Amino acid sequence: MTSHQAPIAAPVTAPIAARTPARTRIGAAVGLLLLSPICAEYLIGYDQIISNPLDMLTGLLVLGPLYGTVAVLIREVARRTGRGWPTMVLLSAAFGLIQAGVIDQSLFNPDFVDEASWDDDRLPTFVAGLGVSVKHVVGFVGGHVIWSFCAPIGVVESCVPRIADRPWLGRVGVTVMIVLYGLGALVIFKEHSKQFLATPVQFGTVGLSALGLAVAAFAIPRRFPRLGRGGEGRDEGSRGSGGRVPPSWAVGCGAVVLMGAHQLSSPGWGGVALNVAALVLAGGALLWWSRCPDWGPVHVLAVCGAALVVNAALSFVVEPLGDTSPVLKYGANAVLMVVVLLLLGRARQRLRRHITVRPLEGTRTV
């Protein structure tokens, strides 16, 4: 055949990750290591540190090991075992429980924050027998699942679509992450345990619950739908085996509404019911649409990007704890919003380029 004739697809014999420079894989891991704590602690701007840029930078030395290493490890475990988002969500919930129930003990400490707003938020759904506020359980664990771990993972993977479903680190890298996490967790635990220590029963309940979530994460069949793998992420609505897939912009808008409801739910049992309903509706919709062949990486980016945009936008109306400089606070909010939009724009550009080039990979002319 001559060169002007149609190419015939040939199988790609080498894995994509094998052709990717180590600096790309390590760079992606470092990016996730940094984005995770930024999304978890800085983006919504609830702490007075938001008005001190230098403290925000130095804070990453502790928050990176505490949050970022977990995000990296969750992703590595899931990708190495051939699993996807359901596993990562359950592992995120397990680590979220450990974070809030063991490491900083915010689930149990009645004086965790020395502000009247803490009790206003905690007491309406406080269950004395358990020593916890149901609103805090839903809010803290849900917040860790979405903003500390899953949204950063989705955004960073979108920035490196060619290796999104491959491991990024070797044994040395994984070991470093584990050691850093242990050190970061120990520092935070010792700091928060100076004034308060949860009971053995509370620690045991959290530990058993987290273990149950971890076991469930690996009990899921490997063939379970993996969000963002296998689809080319078309923008137009399409129909697959699971029903109709909305365009990615509509998925993103829906995610903004539901995650906004999660964040803005009022104290009290009615607010908790709204919160849980929003999370269940979002999770159910994602599981349903992910079964469609045309659900793809651009839809995953739309959902994860929506999470970042929601908190970046809410930061302008959130009043930080303690004394803050309004100029520095709003300046930091604006800078973080711009960074989020630029990052999402870059991720979308990389996905579009990957979707365009991917059909041509591994082809030859004969």
* Residues 289-343: tens digit of each pLDDT: 888 888 999 999 999 999 999 999 999 999 888 778 889 999 999 999 999 999 9
pLDDT at 25 over 70: yes
Q: Considering Cα of 318, then 263, then 89, then 18, what sign does the dihedral take?
A: negative
| Phi, psi (deg, nearest 5) at residue 363 | -95, 160
Query: pLDDT tens digits for 97-146?
Result: 999 999 999 999 999 988 888 888 999 999 998 899 999 999 999 999 99
3-state DSSP of 292-314: CCCCCHHHHHHHHHHHHHHHHHH
**So what's the pLDDT on residue 49?**
87
Considering just the CA atoms, what is the radius of gyration of the chain in Å?
21
- Of the candidates 205, 81, 72, which has an alpha carbon nearest to the alpha carbon of residue 148? 72
Element (H, E) at 170: none
Q: What is the largest CA-CA distance in the chain?
A: 79
Q: How far apart are CA 7 and CA 366, in angstroms?
A: 7
DSSP type of residue 127: E
Query: pLDDT tens digits for 339-355?
Result: 999 999 999 999 999 88
Q: How far apart are CA 163 and CA 28, in angstroms?
A: 9
Inter-CA distances, 189 with 22, 181, 184, 192, 193, Å: 34, 12, 9, 5, 6
Joined together, the tokens standing for residue 232 give 């080319």
Asked whether 247 and 299 are in contact (CB, 8 A), the reply is no
Decide which of 31 and 55 is more confident: 31
Confidence of residue 70 (pLDDT cuts 50, 70, 90): very high
Q: Which of 60-64, 93-97, 187-191, 218-222 has the lowest mean pLDDT?
A: 218-222
Q: How far apart are CA 140 and CA 37, in angstroms?
A: 14
Confidence of residue 44 (pLDDT cuts 50, 70, 90): very high
Query: pLDDT tens digits for 159-168?
Result: 999 999 999 9
pLDDT at 13 over 60: no
pLDDT at 190 over 50: yes
Asked whether 358 and 232 are in contact (CB, 8 A), the reply is yes
Q: How far apart are CA 113 and CA 157, in angstroms?
A: 35
CA angle (43 as vertex; 42, 47 as ends), nearest 5: 40
Number of H helices, E strands in the chain: 13, 6
pTM for the model stands at 0.87
Joined together, the tokens standing for residue 136 give 């805090």
**So what's the pLDDT on residue 364?**
39
Cα torsion 135, 136, 137, 142 to 10°: value is 90
Q: Which residue has the tokens 């592992």?
A: 91
Q: Which residue has the tokens 């080498």?
A: 14
pLDDT at 10 over 70: no
CA angle (133 as vertex; 127, 134 as ends), nearest 5: 95
Provide DSSP, 8-52: EE----S-GGGGS-HHHHHHHHHHHHHHHHIIIIITT--SGGGG-
